[in-house]
Every structure is written in C-alpha cells, then in structure tokens.
Amino acid sequence: MEMKNVKALNYAWRPGGLLNAVADNDANATVYQYDPVGRLSGLKRSIGSDSIDI
C-alpha cells in the first residue's frame, strides 16, 4: 500500500495542559500564546518561512 500526501501533525503541550504548538511535516506551525491566567491571547502562524501574528 502506497501512501501519498500523508500529513503528520506534531503537538507540543505546556505544563498544566495548555496547547503550546502544532506543526506539520510541511514546515507549517502555529504557536499559541496565553495570558498569565491561561486564556488564549494570541497565535503566531508560520507557513514555511513566512509568519504572521493573529
């Protein structure tokens, strides 16, 4: 069985269980930012060598 266009995702977690980052095998990544009480405060999205803050 040949598998083409398989996407692998890697998840990174912070202590306390908050999602820190998600990256795929095409060099795309999303990093999650939280305020001091653990609420999502921002995202940084990298697509290849380009990145944007959301």
**Domain ranges in the chain?**
9-53
pLDDT at 3: 66
pLDDT at 23: 95
Express each pLDDT in 3-48 by its tens digit: 678 889 999 999 999 999 999 998 899 999 999 999 999 999 998 7
Confidence at 1, pLDDT banded by 50, 70, 90: low
Q: Model pTM?
A: 0.77
Q: DSSP characters for the chain?
A: ----S---EEEEE-TTS-EEEEEETTSEEEEEEE-TTS-EEEEEEEETTEEEE-
